[in-house]
Structure 1
Amino acid sequence: MLWIKTFHIVLIASWFAGLFYLPRIFVNLAMETEPAAQRRLLTMARKLYRFMTFIAVPALACGLWLWLAVGIGRGQGWMHAKLGVVVLLVIYHAYCGHLLAVFERGENRRSDKWYRFFNELPVLGLLAAVALVVLKPF
């Protein structure tokens, strides 16, 4: 079980690295006017999104294993809240994929300021998830 916890933590940290960085690339894409730089940023964003998705799957699988097979948090309110946070983060991840497709089609209409705000949302998700696991408030 400790190995699964270890993998879960490392994989989640890696997934969050992408959740923090991809929207920052979107900030730069929203500001960039040079076509060569836009292509380079899009390539970076595509590769990062693929990596994030590749990492998210085993990260979530390890979490599910700990919950369903090991029983960590089973029937406890904090775990239900944490699962809600995880669902929101998965939706955020998928929405990043949508935004990437919008940039690839050249159809972005949002400002760099909007992406700067959007970039901060996973911080709130991470804070909520960690607080729920550590504090177990209910």
Structure 2
Amino acid sequence: MDILIGYYDWIKAVHIMAVIAWMAGLFYLPRLFVYHAERAAVGSEMDKTFQIMEEKLLRVIMTPAMIVAWVAGLMMIGMGGFDWGSVWAWVKIISVVLMSGAHGWMSARRKDFATGQNTRSGRTYRLANEVPTVLMVFIVIAVIVRPF
């Protein structure tokens, strides 16, 4: 990792860009699910359109962005950019793991829609839309303010 120290700021910039792209998807995908659950009958043209949108959002934007965010973040940790003795660091790591879990949950829900087996309401997806927001608040405050 010593060879990468000179690139720390570049790696951090890539990390931030990847997080922004990932978060955009985490905010948008549940909104698509809301409309998909409430307005598209299984097998309809609208259902097929939502399926394409959801699949591409996950495959083309969200999952690659999540992977890049994790890789860049782990690289920065490897370069000493993390204080394991601080509470803020643990709040961030736990929140990022939970954010990844939310991503996985959304990915599973996309598969439910793709197979015509969605059983969740638009209300469930509205609530799911709040999870990434709350986790993002914890992460940003933990990293920038470091109140603990």
Q: Same fold (TM over 0.5)?
A: yes
Q: After alignment, is 108-117 or 43-52 more displaced?
A: 108-117
Counterpart residue identity of residue 13, structure 1? I
Unpaired runs of at least 5, structure 2: 1-7
3-state SS, counterpart of residue 129 of structure 2: helix
Residue 21 in 1 paired to residue 28 in 2?
yes
Deviations 1:43-94 (A, max 9, x none): 0000001121011101111111111223333432210111000000000000
TM-score normalised according to structure 2 size: 0.88
- Aligned CA RMSD, in angstroms, stands at 1.2
3-state SS, counterpart of residue 75 of structure 1: coil
Counterpart residue identity of residue 3, structure 1? W
Length, aligned pairs only: 138
Residue 40 in 1 paired to residue 54 in 2?
no
Counterpart of 2:115 in structure 1 is 105
1:26-105 superposed matches below 5 A: 26-34=33-41, 35-50=44-59, 51-105=61-115
Of the three residues 9, 17, 22, the one matched with 1:10 is 17
TM-score normalised according to structure 1 size: 0.95
Sequence identity percentage: 35
Q: After alignment, is 103-112 or 66-75 more displaced?
A: 66-75
User: Whole-Å Cα distance in 1 between the matches of residues 131 and 82 of structure 2?
Assistant: 26
Counterpart residue identity of residue 9, structure 1? I
Counterpart residue identity of residue 33, structure 1? A
